[in-house]
Structure 1
Amino acid sequence: MIKDGSTVSIEYTLKLDDGSTADTNVGGEPLTYVQGEQQILPALEAQLAGMKADETREVTLSAEEGYGPVREEGFQEVPLEMIPEDAREPGSRLVGQNQQGQPIHAQVKEVREETAVLDLNHPLAGQKLHFDVKVLEIK
């Protein structure tokens, strides 16, 4: 049974409200994490507690339980010259680094005459998340 300290391997499919698949590892490598160490979304981890190997469960998380709401402070206006020419269109995805060298993911939301508006929110912010999970192994 899944309890704090268990090493758990799962297979999952993540769908959005519109029925589209946002992510899945079915047919690929299982996702392995340690229960209680918040290596996956804490609300998902809480829903998986007590499950047994070969058990399946559907879990729905609100936006707040998932990646949070879309936050206005997550939008940043930057000089256009900071954006590579081939990414100067809405929807383009960028990866940069913060001052500590950690990756920052952004999406171009709007391109203006001399600036671009970047969305630094998580791509799934503001979305309700629907997981289909199968527990493969518990150690």
Structure 2
Amino acid sequence: MTIAQHKVVSIHYKVVDVASGETIDSSEGGEPMVYLHGAQNIIPGLEAALEGKQVGDEFEVTVAAADAYGDYSEDRVQKVPREAFTGVEEIEPGMAFTAQTAQGPINLIVTEVEEEMITVDANHPLAGKSLAFSVSVASIRDASEEELEHGHVHGAGGHHH
């Protein structure tokens, strides 16, 4: 069986930040990641690289930022008044918040703290980064009707990223 639209695939993987050589994430020593192929459950560049692969295949692929978590956008960095953080006593750089917006929830990271203004960055932490994946395909199966309807995997090992 090969990886194609509507297949449920489990992979072992390691992701490295190309620029720093730092390992960002790895399934080593844990459960493989399970996803529904063709449902945009994973970043486009990795999904494209997995297309047509078979169980036991091992490969490496470098995914450019645009095909991973998008380019880094200065427009997503904003200064907001400290009052916006009501109920938060200590605000420090590196803290993550979820802001409810008209477009749905956005994750923000505090990058700078001044007396009146707090600088927040809504870019994905991996935006602007090229990512190198080492992947091995653990299993492939047909998706169930329900999985296809819901657009993601159900049961053991199915989790969202």
Q: Would you call these one fold, judging by a TM-score over 0.5? A: yes
Partner SS, residue 99 of structure 2: strand
Confirm or deny that 1:129 pairs with 2:131: yes
Q: For structure 1, which runs of at least 5 residues remain unmatched after alignment?
A: none
Query: How far apart are the structure 2 equivalents of 1:23 and 1:85?
Result: 31
Query: How far apart are the structure 2 equivalents of 1:103 and 1:47?
Result: 29
Confirm or deny that 1:2 pairs with 2:10: no
Moved more, 26-35 or 114-123: 26-35
Counterparts of 1:33-44 in structure 2, within 5 Å, are 33-44=35-46
Using structure 1 for the length normalisation, give the TM-score.
0.90
Over the residues paired in the alignment, what is the CA RMSD in angstroms? 1.5
Using structure 2 for the length normalisation, give the TM-score.
0.78
1:66 to 56, 65, 68: 68
Query: How far apart are the structure 1 equivalents of 2:129 and 2:8?
Result: 28
Q: CA deviation at 1:103?
A: 3.5
Number of the residue aligned with 1:85:
89
Q: CA deviation at 1:90?
A: 1.8
Partner SS, residue 133 of structure 1: strand
Q: How many residues align?
A: 137
Number of the residue aligned with 1:109:
111
Q: CA deviation at 1:104?
A: 2.2
Amino acid at match of 1:120: A
Amino acid at match of 1:60: T
Moved more, 9-18 or 119-128: 9-18
Confirm or deny that 1:12 pairs with 2:13: yes
2:101 to 98, 115, 129: 98
Deviation beyond 3 Å, 4+ runs, structure 1: none
Partner SS, residue 65 of structure 2: coil
Query: How far apart are the structure 1 equivalents of 2:32 and 2:16?
Result: 17
Query: How far apart are the structure 2 equivalents of 1:8 and 1:49?
Result: 10
Query: How far apart are the structure 2 equivalents of 1:111 and 1:81?
Result: 13
Query: How far apart are the structure 1 equivalents of 2:101 and 2:33?
Result: 27
Q: CA deviation at 1:99?
A: 4.3
Partner SS, residue 38 of structure 2: coil
